[in-house]
Structure 1
Amino acid sequence: MDTKAFVEKYLTDRRETDSSKWDQLKEKFGRTDLLPLWIADMEFRTCDAVTNALMARVRHGIYGYSAVPDSYYAALDRWMTIRHNCSVPKEWVRFSTGCVTGIAWAIAAFTDPGDACMILTPVYYPFHNVVTNNKRTLVKVPLQYRDGYASMDYESIEKAIVENHVKLFIQCSPQNPMGRVFTEEELDKVLSICQRHQVLVVSDEIHQDIIIGKNPFVPAATVKNGKYQDILIILNSATKSFNLATLLHSHIIIPNEELRKRYDKFASGMNRTEVSIMGMLATQAAYENGGEWLDGLLAVIRENDAMLRQKLKSDLPKAVVCTLEGTYLVMVDLRAYMPSGGAQSIIQDQCHLAVDYGEWFGEGYEGFIRMNLATDPKLIEEAANRLISVLGKK
């Protein structure tokens, strides 16, 4: 299916459907006349296989306590093996309602109040809050940014670990919002530092399937043939890949048996919910029959990315569209066109765009915006035109 056919078949008007992205503009941004390119979900309905699986359960009409069948674990393992060369045995897998919830549970299970947890900024803003709201000490190490490209500063990472006695590193891979898909060499370097200093690593890999550039996604569990599995808690989900966020279903993957025992002991004391039957069914259907749909989605995202880059390069040449190797969320450096601290008034009140602002993700990113490319190409073209119309005069 070509990109035009994909858009024609799956594009959906989400207005007046209680969509956070479209129907909560007033609550989030104070006005309703904005083109929404912020929160990380899509205007594309999910693949037919998912919808059919959910409709079959609806016709069945019972949503009671349900086991996770072996066929589910087989589908997960097959998807991870084929797509990412990473086998996931059934015994490694636990479940949560979302990856940020999984981070919170990992913090609670493997650290104590006051312990230091490290993140690399800029990063998805709940990473900041989930540490501080759980009464842990937040340690922030900036990524090195230059000309639209972000990389890890290994010397600063190791120094921060040693000086702050870091217990847990929360990694975002692929990286949101900077769009990096870290190479095995990069992951090897940071994981070796953590292993050397006995730091556990929570690797949030929710964007693993949204690979836009040439770098293949490398699961942390596969780095150097599994060299670091004993320090890893891996989080992933089909929610970003197939637009399933509110079905509340994600994986906590723990390769090391002792860490699994520690996690299970923690979990036994929680008021745990059951696995979401609808989330489980949707995920299994997506992993079994959603590959073609996902490939169509990726083609649309790549075309949107290319169009945005071409238009801004032509008409806003001082704008820097950051590297997009993975995720459907691209950062744009507009500092050359905006005064310090003035981004929101210009982007919102003059361009009439609803976006995520760079400073939400970390200090030093004022004048950056994050745009969601998993949408109608016409909306990306319109957003680019609005930026050009307003900023091209400055």
Structure 2
Amino acid sequence: MFVVAELSRDLQEFVANYSVDRRNTDSLKWDALQERYGDPTLLPMWVADMEFQTPVAVRQALTERVQQGVFGYSLTPDSYYEAFFQWQKERHGITLQKDWVRFDTGVVNSLYAMVKWLTDPGDEVVILQPVYYPFANAIKDNDRKVLSVDLLSGDKGWAIDFEALEKTFKHHTIKLLIFCSPHNPVGRIWTEAELVKVLALCRQYGVQLVSDEIHQDYEAELGQFKSVLTVADGTYQDDVIVLTAPSKTFNLAALLNSHVIIPDPDKRESYDAFIKTIHQTEGSLLGRVAAEAAYRHGGPWFDKLRGVIAYNYSVLKETLAEIPEVKVADLQGTYLAYVDLAPIVPADGLTDFVQKACGLAVDYGAWFSPKDKTYIRLNLATDPKYVATAADRLAEQLKFRKK
């Protein structure tokens, strides 16, 4: 059983100071359970946001800006770029330039734009499933075809099937690969060697790579994440387009502020001409106020959050270790645990097991890949008491099923 005292004192203080009850706050995660799952009593472990308040500095910056009382069209100040660039440089060794950056209201919105910009109706677009389901949705909703080069799963964890990827590029007319790094939901942080292989294949076959790096700050070990922007000392920099946002790092999703990073000037010119045909926006004033404060002052807060997530993962992993048939993916990056309940729970019984027997709301593996029908994804960026409860319920019911 979970005991709060097992947390280090500073992490206990973090949970005590920042954990909030989000019930009845118009929270999608908590207040849409009836709509999404048909049961408002479930413990929500699904959508990727948190039960933690943002850093104090973020709330102070927002309060000060709100008290000005004017919310008209606004510029993005140089101080925003300075804070964002310093975070990227110090955390990941990424050197950015102001000219490279465009803004959007969220990475998912940008995924849709990328598909529409870089491909034509009827084209096949490659993704590596299991992967964040808006990847496939952005392709299908834009009247393109999903072509998945499925990740390999084995004793050593999840891996890219490079042989299949090259065959796909060779035998199909592929313009776009949408890449996830770190990879949601399997939790992989791709090594530089793996990234070089992917980028080299894209260059060889003329495939544009768009990399969703929204989870870049969540590293099991600092320095583990490598952006496609810095691979091989920036050799492939002009080949790639990177999507990022402060929303996952600092729990700011509803403030609608994200980045589209395009180092190549010709691609930027093309993107600028395209994007104004589908939407023109000045961006989110409060989103940028919050993000600047977070990048400038949120480091200590975030490092403690990472500690809580690591602890939550250890609780889940150790609790489910009592049922060796269940596989919990290594969590190198993201704050999302991918768990395979086979062979104890069959695919056709997964929903009833998770919701009726365990009382949980989760993201189901079938949402990420049609082949992952016995998998669930659990959100670990939450109060440890929720993770402990979810893990205990799963373990208890799995043991019961084994009898």
Same fold flag (TM > 0.5): yes
The aligned residue for residue 33 of structure 1 is: 41
Q: 1:17-96 residue pairs with structure 2 within 5 A?
A: 17-96=25-104
Q: Is the 8 A contact 1:148 1:333 kept in 2?
A: no
SS in 2 for 1:224: helix
* 2:354 is the alignment partner of 1:347: yes
* 2:287 is the alignment partner of 1:279: yes
**Per-residue CA distance 1:251-278 (angstroms, 9 max, x = gap):** 0000001100110111232331211000
Question: TM-score scaled to structure 2, two decimals?
Answer: 0.95
Q: 1:186-197 residue pairs with structure 2 within 5 A?
A: 186-197=194-205
Equivalences, count? 393
Q: Is the 8 A contact 2:91 2:223 kept in 1?
A: no
Q: 1:328-343 residue pairs with structure 2 within 5 A?
A: 328-343=335-350
SS in 2 for 1:150: strand
Q: Is the 8 A contact 1:212 1:301 kept in 2?
A: no
Residue identity in the other structure for 2:351:
Q
Q: 1:91-170 residue pairs with structure 2 within 5 A?
A: 91-147=99-155, 149-170=157-178
* 2:302 is the alignment partner of 1:302: no
Q: Is the 8 A contact 2:127 2:177 kept in 1?
A: yes
Residue identity in the other structure for 1:323:
D
Structure 1: how far apart are the matches of 2:222 and 2:298? 22
The aligned residue for residue 217 of structure 1 is: 225
* 2:331 is the alignment partner of 1:324: yes
Structure 1: how far apart are the matches of 2:113 and 2:347? 38
Per the TM alignment, residue 380 of structure 1 is displaced from its structure 2 partner at its CA by 0.8
Q: Indicate how the Cα distance of structure 1 residues 367 and 213 shifts in structure 2: closer, same or farther if over 3 A, else same.
A: farther
Structure 1: how far apart are the matches of 2:229 and 2:219? 18
SS in 2 for 1:336: coil
Q: Is the 8 A contact 2:329 2:339 kept in 1?
A: yes
**Per-residue CA distance 1:177-203 (angstroms, 9 max, x = gap):** 000000100100011100100100110
**Per-residue CA distance 1:56-84 (angstroms, 9 max, x = gap):** 11101111000111111111111100000
Q: Is the 8 A contact 1:148 1:323 kept in 2?
A: no
The aligned residue for residue 356 of structure 1 is: 363
The 10-residue stretch of structure 1 (262-271 or 135-144) with the greater mean CA deviation from structure 2: 262-271
Residue identity in the other structure for 1:356:
D
Q: Runs of 5+ in structure 1 lacking a partner?
A: none
The 10-residue stretch of structure 1 (209-218 or 374-383) with the greater mean CA deviation from structure 2: 209-218
Question: TM-score scaled to structure 1, two decimals?
Answer: 0.98
Q: Runs of 5+ in structure 2 lacking a partner?
A: 1-8
Structure 1: how far apart are the matches of 2:240 and 2:132? 20
Residue identity in the other structure for 1:183:
T
**Per-residue CA distance 1:107-128 (angstroms, 9 max, x = gap):** 2222222222110000011110
Residue identity in the other structure for 1:393:
F
Structure 2: how far apart are the matches of 1:148 and 1:331? 15
SS in 1 for 2:15: helix
**Per-residue CA distance 1:156-183 (angstroms, 9 max, x = gap):** 0111122221100000000000000001
Structure 2: how far apart are the matches of 1:204 and 1:11? 28
Residue identity in the other structure for 1:30:
G
Structure 1: how far apart are the matches of 2:34 and 2:145? 34
* 2:390 is the alignment partner of 1:379: no
**Per-residue CA distance 1:110-160 (angstroms, 9 max, x = gap):** 222222211000001111010111111211110001147110000101111
Structure 2: how far apart are the matches of 1:147 and 1:343? 23
* 2:309 is the alignment partner of 1:293: no
Structure 1: how far apart are the matches of 2:66 and 2:156? 46
Q: Indicate how the Cα distance of structure 1 residues 312 and 271 shifts in structure 2: closer, same or farther if over 3 A, else same.
A: closer
Q: Is the 8 A contact 1:99 1:237 kept in 2?
A: yes
Residue identity in the other structure for 1:318:
E
Q: Indicate how the Cα distance of structure 1 residues 317 and 214 shifts in structure 2: closer, same or farther if over 3 A, else same.
A: farther
* RMSD, matched Cα: 1.2
**Per-residue CA distance 1:320-348 (angstroms, 9 max, x = gap):** 11110000001011102112321111111
Structure 2: how far apart are the matches of 1:345 and 1:22? 20
The aligned residue for residue 5 of structure 2 is: none
Q: Indicate how the Cα distance of structure 1 residues 214 and 72 shifts in structure 2: closer, same or farther if over 3 A, else same.
A: closer
| Percentage of matched positions with identical amino acids | 46
* 2:371 is the alignment partner of 1:369: no
Structure 1: how far apart are the matches of 2:39 and 2:277? 44
Per the TM alignment, residue 215 of structure 1 is displaced from its structure 2 partner at its CA by 6.4
Structure 2: how far apart are the matches of 1:277 and 1:135? 33
Structure 1: how far apart are the matches of 2:97 and 2:165? 31
Structure 2: how far apart are the matches of 1:209 and 1:283? 14
Q: Is the 8 A contact 1:322 1:332 kept in 2?
A: yes
* 2:398 is the alignment partner of 1:391: yes
